């Protein structure tokens, strides 16, 4: 209740745009969102940018990921890369609301969230949760669909090295078997439509490994929804 009250007060106070420094404005002003968050064509299966009219990238044609669709709000580049780093590593959970709003405004995100029966955050290992103080994917999910979030269904079974510095093949090996469904969680997934939420998607290996665990447990339809996608 106290966090909810703080969020309401923070949202009501005048602020400065974190990108252009306009004052007074929302923490992400409309002009900057319009300038830096324009929708663009993306692969329906992995959200990689594609030429106009291309439904799937070559990699996903060769091997379709365990997702019905994958949606990304923005490309991981200026100004979003710096803002997301501040959000994740700067103990700034208050950024969850404006960033979740950006995600919800992504084309097809609203229908996916409305149709979903469960919204699941990507889990963090205990070590990373201690380091950061909060799970950013869980906070984003709570703002995206507060009545549908189940934060204890998908589990990270083991900690893994950071994916960003690894080549693709090693990323795939790195997360193989890293996720599972909690004991007793499978009945909640059986035949359900699920939205899987994360902040940044790089190669897709982590998101796909988690989606495969949900698919094995019986989820019928899985949409990946991420804040930012690398190119």
- How far apart (Å, rounded) are the C-alpha atoms in residues 131 and 68? 33
CATH assignment at residue 140: 3.40.50
49 and 138 inside one domain: yes
67 and 3 inside one domain: no
Compute, in degrees rounded to 10, the torsion defined by CA atoms 195, 78, 41, 122.
-10
β-bridge mates for residue 149, sequence order: 119
Identify the domain containing residue 3 by its residue range.
1-36
pLDDT at 105 over 90: yes
| Bridging pattern class, strands 69-75 and 179-181 | unpaired
Q: What is the pLDDT of residues 175-227, one digit of tens each?
A: 777 899 998 889 999 999 999 999 999 989 999 999 999 999 999 999 999 99
6 and 112 inside one domain: no
Query: Taking residues 123-134, what's their average pLDDT?
Result: 89
Lookup result for tokens 């380091």: 131
67 and 24 inside one domain: no
**DSSP single-letter state for residue 3:** H
DSSP E strand stretches across 125-229:
154-156, 179-181, 193-201, 221-229
Q: What is the pLDDT of residues 142-159, one digit of tens each?
A: 999 999 999 999 999 876
188 and 224 inside one domain: yes
137 and 216 inside one domain: yes
Instruction: Tell me how many domains the chain contains.
Output: 2
Residue 64: φ, ψ to 5° = -70, 125
The size of the chain, in residues, is 231
88 and 191 inside one domain: yes
């Amino acid at each position: 209740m106290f966090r909810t009250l703080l969020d309401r007060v923070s949202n009501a106070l005048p602020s400065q745009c974190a990108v252009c420094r306009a004052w007074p404005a929302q923490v992400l002003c409309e002009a900057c969102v319009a300038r830096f968050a324009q929708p663009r064509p993306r692969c329906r299966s992995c959200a990689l940018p594609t030429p106009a009219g291309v439904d799937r990238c070559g990699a996903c044609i060769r091997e379709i990921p365990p997702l019905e669709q994958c949606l990304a709000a923005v490309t991981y580049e200026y100004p979003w890369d710096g803002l997301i780093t501040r959000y994740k590593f700067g103990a700034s959970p208050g950024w969850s609301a404006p960033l979740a709003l950006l995600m919800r405004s992504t084309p097809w995100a609203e229908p996916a969230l409305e149709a979903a029966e469960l919204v699941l955050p990507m889990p963090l290992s205990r070590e990373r949760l201690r380091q950061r103080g909060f799970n950013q994917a869980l906070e984003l999910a709570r703002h995206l669909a507060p009545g549908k979030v189940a934060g204890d269904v998908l589990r990270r079974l083991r900690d893994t090295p950071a994916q960003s510095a690894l080549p693709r093949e090693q990323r795939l090996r790195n997360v193989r078997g890293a996720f599972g469904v909690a004991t007793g969680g499978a009945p909640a997934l059986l035949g359900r439509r699920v939205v899987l939420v994360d902040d940044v998607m790089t190669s897709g290996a982590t998101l796909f490994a988690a989606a495969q665990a949900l698919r094995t447990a019986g989820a019928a339809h899985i949409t990946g929804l991420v804040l930012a996608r690398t190119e």
